[in-house]
Chains A and B, each alone.
Chain A
Amino acid sequence: DGGITQSPKYLFRKEGQNVTLSCEQNLNHDAMYWYRQDPGQGLRLIYYSQIVNDFQKGDIAEGYSVSREKKESFPLTVTSAQKNPTAFYLCASSGQGGLNEQFFGPGTRLTVL
């Protein structure tokens, strides 16, 4: 089956620890995205990548880092510098160009204790 996978579904970490969220897609999409969703809020863009080995900051990139070494993978690291990391994190991918829909993964709910 083609799609986007994110793991794990739930993640708990202690304050001050870095944590990496995985995102893998087998849709052969060039573009990938990371969003953060807080309760009752919309989706805020953290980072996006239009092509392998290239990525751009979104609206709330501070305290996060990404890499795009492979087309299929776009991991997100939530660093200890992120002041309020507890949230629902969604990864998405799309074909190149502005008219393509985004396909979302199931999300990872991160709780920092």
Chain B
Amino acid sequence: GQQVMQIPQYQHVQEGEDFTTYCNSSTTLSNIQWYKQRPGGHPVFLIQLVKSGEVKKQKRLTFQFGEAKKNSSLHITATQTTDVGTYFCAGRGGGAQKLVFGQGTRLTINP
């Protein structure tokens, strides 16, 4: 079945440093979504990418969808303590009804 791998599993940075998490699918995706889960909280939707090669920005966050629609990345510029949490990608294969979540990347920040 479809698998979504996400790396790294953990990332610790100094406040102000950049952060990137990568997501790779075993199959071509029709779309990919990104979620953020704060410690002790629940996942909250950040963004969705649909088109091959698509790039979207939300303030300091940049999301990319690969040309082959099998990988994606989230890059945070100049991290702040409010960025702490676990970031999940979730992809849907063509024709599939369900999202498959990656294992998540847990970001911790040293202020």
Tell whether, in the assembled complex, residue B98 and residue A48 are in contact, meaning their CB atoms are under 8 Å apart: yes
- Chain A residue nearest to B46 (CB atoms) is A101
Tell whether, in the assembled complex, residue B101 and residue A42 are in contact, meaning their CB atoms are under 8 Å apart: yes
Report B-chain residues with C-beta under 8 Å of the C-beta of A103: 45
B59 at the binding interface (Cβ < 8 Å): no
- On whether A42 and B103 interact (CB within 8 A), knowing A99-B50, A101-B33, A104-B42, the answer reads yes
Tell whether, in the assembled complex, residue B103 and residue A48 are in contact, meaning their CB atoms are under 8 Å apart: no
**Count of residues in A whose CB is under 8 Å from the partner chain:** 24
Tell whether, in the assembled complex, residue B98 and residue A105 are in contact, meaning their CB atoms are under 8 Å apart: no
Report A-chain residues with C-beta under 8 Å of the C-beta of B96: 98
Give the docked Cα–Cα distance between A102 and B6 (Å): 19
The CB with the most chain B CB atoms within 10 A, among A48, A90, A98, A103, is that of A98
CB distance from B56 to the nearest CB of A (A): 14
Give the docked Cα–Cα distance between A92 and B90 (Å): 14
Task: Indicate with 1 or 0, residue by residue over B28-39, a CB within 8 angstroms of chain A CB atoms.
Answer: 001101010000
